[in-house]
A and B are shown apart, each in its own frame.
Chain A
Amino acid sequence: MTGALALQWASQVALGLLLVGMLLAVIRLVRGPNLGDRILALDMITVLATGFITGVAVLTGFSLYVDIAIALALVGFLATVALARYLMSRARDQEADR
């Protein structure tokens, strides 16, 4: 019985830590001097949200949340790749202007 209690306590603390991490990433998202920093902050938030959803799955015992976490990781990866491609095309335009 105490194992379940320890797991519940640990996952609640873990969710709190992930929330603090997300807040720090949001600060970077707002402050980030360039577009690259903002893309990085968004990617970080997505990875943290993946961890958060999996943590909710551990806490509630409703394991099917893992599907949502995997789908979110996939979408986040695609979004980061698309934004990086956009940044790359902007760099190409800059070189063409010069």
Chain B
Amino acid sequence: MIELAQYLAAVLILAGAVFSLIAAIGVLRLPDLYTRLHAASKAGAIGAGLIFLALAVVSLDGAIILRSLLGIVFLLLSTPLSAHLLARAAYRCGEAPTAATTVDDLK
């Protein structure tokens, strides 16, 4: 049983790290702030959340499991919020979207 949990946690932590790496690659490679925010706020939150989940699976302590789940909930609440705030502030500052953008509903 513990063995199974350890294998599951190994898969979860690797998946989380790969998601985080993909988010970082997106932040580096995508063309403008809005697409970069899209990469960071989705893949980044899922990556860190999966690592929290790995800790919850491998630790056999109720308090740690509760705190890990709390961390996941907090990440899933806070990351979209900060991304939305940042995108709104940047748009108000006049940050132009990339030339490939076809629809701009705020214009």
A56 shortest CB reach to chain B, Å? 10
Q: Using Cβ atoms and an 8 Å threshold, which residues of chain B touch A69?
A: 52, 71
Number of interface residues of A (CB under 8 A): 57
Cα distance A10–B37 in the bound complex, in angstroms: 28
* A40-55 vs B, Cβ < 8 Å mask (1 yes, 0 no): 1101100110110011
User: B13 and A91: CB pair below 8 A?
Assistant: no
Cα distance A36–B92 in the bound complex, in angstroms: 11
Q: Using Cβ atoms and an 8 Å threshold, which residues of chain A touch B95?
A: 34, 36
Q: Using Cβ atoms and an 8 Å threshold, which residues of chain A touch B94?
A: 91, 94
Q: Using Cβ atoms and an 8 Å threshold, which residues of chain A touch B5?
A: 3
**A10-B11, A81-B82 given as contacts; is B28 within 8 A of A28 (CB)?**
yes
Q: Using Cβ atoms and an 8 Å threshold, which residues of chain B touch A90?
A: 93
User: A14 and B17: CB pair below 8 A?
Assistant: yes
Number of interface residues of B (CB under 8 A): 56
- A interface secondary structure, majority: helix
User: A24 and B28: CB pair below 8 A?
Assistant: yes
Q: Chain B residue with minimal CB distance to A37?
A: B33
Q: Using Cβ atoms and an 8 Å threshold, which residues of chain B touch A70?
A: 67, 70-71, 74
B68 shortest CB reach to chain A, Å? 6
Interface residues, chain B, with chain A CB atoms under 8 Å away: 2-7, 9-11, 13-14, 16-18, 20-21, 23-25, 27-28, 33, 36-37, 40, 44-45, 47-48, 51-52, 54-55, 58-59, 61, 64, 67-68, 70-71, 74-75, 78-79, 81-82, 85-86, 88-90, 92-95
A selection of 15 A-B contacts at a CB cut-off of 8 Å is: A3-B4, A7-B10, A9-B10, A14-B13, A17-B17, A24-B27, A28-B28, A47-B45, A48-B48, A51-B17, A54-B51, A58-B54, A74-B74, A91-B92, A94-B94
List 6 additional A-B contacts (Cβ < 8 Å) besides A10-B14, A47-B40, A85-B85: A28-B27, A58-B54, A66-B71, A70-B71, A73-B48, A80-B86
